[in-house]
């Protein structure tokens, strides 16, 4: 089948298996060229098929020779419909890990459910015994609560006041003003139920009760803080409320895990193009400017560079893990550098549809977006037939 990108709003409904495999290989090759990571043996990554979770899995496996269990929710191919990008990424990861002689197991299903947690526990118990790192990297628009059956949908809205600001349609390059309305109380609660820390806590409880957490286990979940510019939409918005909950979960997990010499961390990561961030208004324009400025200053990083640095220089840096005054690990310090942010702020004032291509990396955002689905890679022959039905 000849596979072409089919874009619907913020997503691409097709994915290219060969392109996705190239993306995974590129990250593996990058990690293999870095000094190896120490102290990581067996890792569970929840949300392991795309973005930061996939990069965490690759960094642990190919950087530290760690065995990995990856949990994700992806769509296999059905008849002439391609699988999702995360499916193809995971097929490629599994193949590369096995070829290199590393243990890897992928579990596809709803991480919020009790069944998938139990299936994961069984895999760890049977194959690895324990895990010494649990990465929680879910980004989901909805959650069904496993105990009550209640269904929650997250929203990207402000809290309190509406916010009007600039945004860009990355596909057309049109810069416009967007107004984001404040969420209702229920919408805030629902977003916290989906993207807050309750499920992370449930995972740690289940793993602990099953005795599959190693002595000294570490767990880390991800947040985004960002500059003043994105704060009304992100940090001070509904997603920010969910991240406050995630942070308070980290504190309480940390207190619990310390009893077994373990630790729980939040890591504030930089803004990158992923399926999740591409859907956030205002942030898409911000990232287009950010990439340009960080590249100009030679400090640009993608998911894999960030996750390698997180493991090497933070979580496994030794007895002292550097954190900010709120106890968060920071790997967003290059993004938030004063010289980077002041350039973005001045460009933000003047950016329009007419000068967008010149002052921002919108074309890079567009290319990175397509790349997430395995498209636009020079090494791939898109005119050739590709087999969409790849078993995991
Ligand atoms: P992503 O969309 O690339 O990945 C999400 C992962 O979650 C995928 O593996 C997907 O399969 C999995 N998933 C979603 N719903 C699931 C379910 N019900 N069951 C099992 N798996 C499910 O997201 P991302 O951008 O890498 O975000 C991961 C984390 O990093 C989030 O907490 C996000 O807030 C944070 N973060 C992202 C950015 C950014 O710029 N993208 C910046 C800082 C922090």
- pLDDT tens digits, 299-350: 999 999 999 999 999 999 988 899 999 999 999 999 999 999 999 999 999 9
- On the question of pLDDT at 148 being above 80, the answer is yes
CB 353 within 8 A of CB 174: yes
Task: Point out the least confidently predicted range of 24-38, 163-177, 193-207.
Answer: 163-177
71 token code pair: 């949990």
Q: How far is the CA of 384 from the centre of ligand 1 (A)?
A: 31
- Give the residue-averaged pLDDT of 52-58: 98
Q: What is the pLDDT of residue 276?
A: 77
Task: Give the Å distances, CA to CA, from 41 to 18, 53, 64, 218, 309.
Answer: 30, 17, 7, 12, 17
Instruction: Label residue 327 exposed, middle or buried (CB < 10 Å: 0-12, 13-18, 19+).
Output: middle
Amino acid 160: pLDDT: 96
- The stretch 167-184 carries a mean pLDDT of 93
Rounded to 10 deg, the angle between the 198-209 and 238-258 helix axes is 20
For range 365-376, the mean pLDDT: 96
291 has catalytic annotation:
no
Q: Please count the residues of the chain.
A: 392
pLDDT at site 274: 87
pLDDT of residue 355: 96
Position 374 confidence tier, pLDDT thresholds 50, 70, 90: very high
Tell me, what's the pLDDT at 127? 98
Nearest atom in ligand 1 to the alpha carbon of residue 239 is 34
Q: How far is the CA of 258 from the centre of ligand 1 (A)?
A: 27
Question: What tokens appear for 307 in the block?
Answer: 């996750």
> Which residues contact ligand 1 via a Cβ below 6 A?
47-53, 71-74, 86, 110-112, 137-140, 222-224, 269, 271-272, 274-277
Looking at every residue in the chain, the average pLDDT score rounds to 96
What is the reported pLDDT for 144?
98
Mean pLDDT for 42-66 is 98
Q: How far is C-alpha 382 from the chain's CA centre?
A: 27
Question: In the predicted model, is pLDDT for residue 281 greater than 90?
Answer: no
What pLDDT was estimated at residue 275?
79
Is 106 a residue whose pLDDT tops 90? yes
* pLDDT at position 110 over 80: yes
Q: Indicate the pLDDT class of residue 63, thresholds 50, 70 and 90.
A: very high
Q: Average the pLDDT over 136-157 and give the result.
A: 97
- Residue of 51, 146, 197 to test ligand 1 pocket, by largest number of atoms within 8 Å of CB: 51
Measured from the Cα of 287, ligand 1's closest atom is 40
Residue 65: what pLDDT? 98
In the structure, what pLDDT confidence band is assigned to residue 296 with cuts at 50, 70 and 90? very high
172: which residues sit within 8 A by CB, 6+ positions away? none
């Amino acid at each position: 089948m000849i596979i072409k990108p089919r874009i619907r709003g913020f997503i691409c409904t097709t994915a290219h298996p060969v392109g996705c495999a190239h993306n995974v290989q590129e990250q593996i090759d990058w990690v293999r060229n870095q000094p190896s990571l120490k102290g990581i043996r067996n890792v569970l990554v929840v949300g392991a098929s795309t973005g930061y979770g996939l990069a965490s899995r690759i960094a642990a496996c190919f950087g530290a020779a760690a065995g990995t269990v990856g949990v994700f929710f992806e769509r296999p191919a059905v008849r002439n419909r391609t699988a999702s990008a995360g499916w193809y990424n995971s097929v490629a990861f599994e193949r590369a890990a096995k070829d290199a002689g590393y243990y890897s197991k992928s579990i596809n299903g709803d991480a919020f459910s009790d069944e998938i947690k139990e299936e994961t526990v069984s895999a760890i118990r049977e194959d690895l015994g324990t895990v010494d790192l649990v990465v929680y990297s879910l980004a989901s628009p909805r959650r069904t609560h496993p105990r009550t059956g209640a269904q929650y949908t997250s929203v990207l809205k402000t809290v309190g006041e509406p916010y009007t600001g600039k945004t860009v349609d990355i596909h057309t390059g049109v810069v416009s003003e967007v107004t984001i309305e404040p969420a209702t109380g229920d919408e805030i609660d629902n977003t916290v139920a989906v993207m807050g820390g309750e499920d992370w806590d449930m995972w740690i409880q289940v793993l602990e009760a099953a005795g599959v957490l190693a002595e000294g286990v570490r767990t880390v979940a991800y947040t985004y803080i960002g500059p003043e510019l994105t704060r009304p939409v992100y940090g001070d918005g509904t997603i920010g409320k969910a991240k406050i909950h995630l942070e308070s979960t980290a504190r309480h997990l940390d207190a619990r895990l310390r009893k077994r010499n373990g630790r729980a961390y939040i890591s504030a990561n930089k803004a990158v193009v992923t399926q999740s961030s591409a859907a956030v208004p205002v942030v898409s324009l911000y990232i287009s400017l950010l990439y340009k400025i960080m590249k100009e200053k030679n400090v640009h990083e993608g998911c894999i560079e960030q996750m390698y640095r997180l493991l090497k220089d933070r979580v496994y840096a030794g007895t002292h893990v550097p954190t900010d005054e709120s106890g968060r690990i920071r790997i967003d310090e290059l993004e938030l550098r004063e010289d980077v942010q002041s350039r973005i702020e001045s460009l933000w004032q003047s950016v329009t549809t007419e000068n967008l291509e010149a002052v921002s990396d919108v074309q890079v955002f567009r290319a990175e977006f397509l790349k997430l689905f395995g498209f636009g890679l020079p090494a791939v022959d898109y005119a050739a037939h590709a087999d969409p039905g790849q078993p995991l």
